[in-house]
Amino acid sequence: METKKVKTPLTEKDIEELKAGDKVLITGVIYGARDLVHRKFIELIEKGERLPIKLEGQVIYYVGMSPPPPGKIAGAAGPTSSYRIDHFTPKLLELGLKGMIGKGPRSEEVKEAIVKYKAIYMVTIGGAGALLSSKIKRFRLLAFEEFGPEALTEIYVEDFPAIVVNDIYGNDLYEIEQKKYRR
């Protein structure tokens, strides 16, 4: 299967062309945020306050980077388990978030929201944080410094590898692949 190159922010056309099982290389700005940031986003939304980023078309990577070693731009940047973010995800998709990167399956509620709001969920390789950090060309702290390595970051990546798991057509790569091995 061919690897597709995508640039951020994602467009509706990008989303329509990506299907479960597609390998992608992402170039552009993605945002690093884990559960603490997502909880804060929901608090701000409920108070009617502005978020520190505009969600429309954006991709959030569920990552908390380790400090960079000497001479490196970023430390290890492996994904965290996406189920930890599931409770917050539908609201952010409703507000325009188009892509998420993490590891592991998503809840039924999130999969339904992905279809409803036309977004995609991608996974990247857990345990390959050092390799993934080599795709980071620059990053900066944006907000919530008090969250330490889980603060909101803006990350510029080049050819960041991921695989589409959930698409707007209701496909789930985990389910597709498991069916191949059931008797």
- Closest listed residue to residue 164, CA positions, set 32, 31, 17: 17
d(CA 71, CA 15): 36
Residue in the structure block whose two tokens are 């917050």: 88
Vertex 56 angle, CA 39 and 108, to 5°: 55
CA atoms within 13 A on the CB side of 180: 4
DSSP bridge pairs for 29: 156
Structure tokens at 46: 């409920």
Contact 166, 20 (CB under 8 A): yes
Residue in the structure block whose two tokens are 């409920």: 46
Residue in 34, 38, 98, 111 annotated catalytic: 38
38 is catalytic: yes
Structure tokens at 163: 């695989």
Which residues are catalytic, by number?
Answer: 38
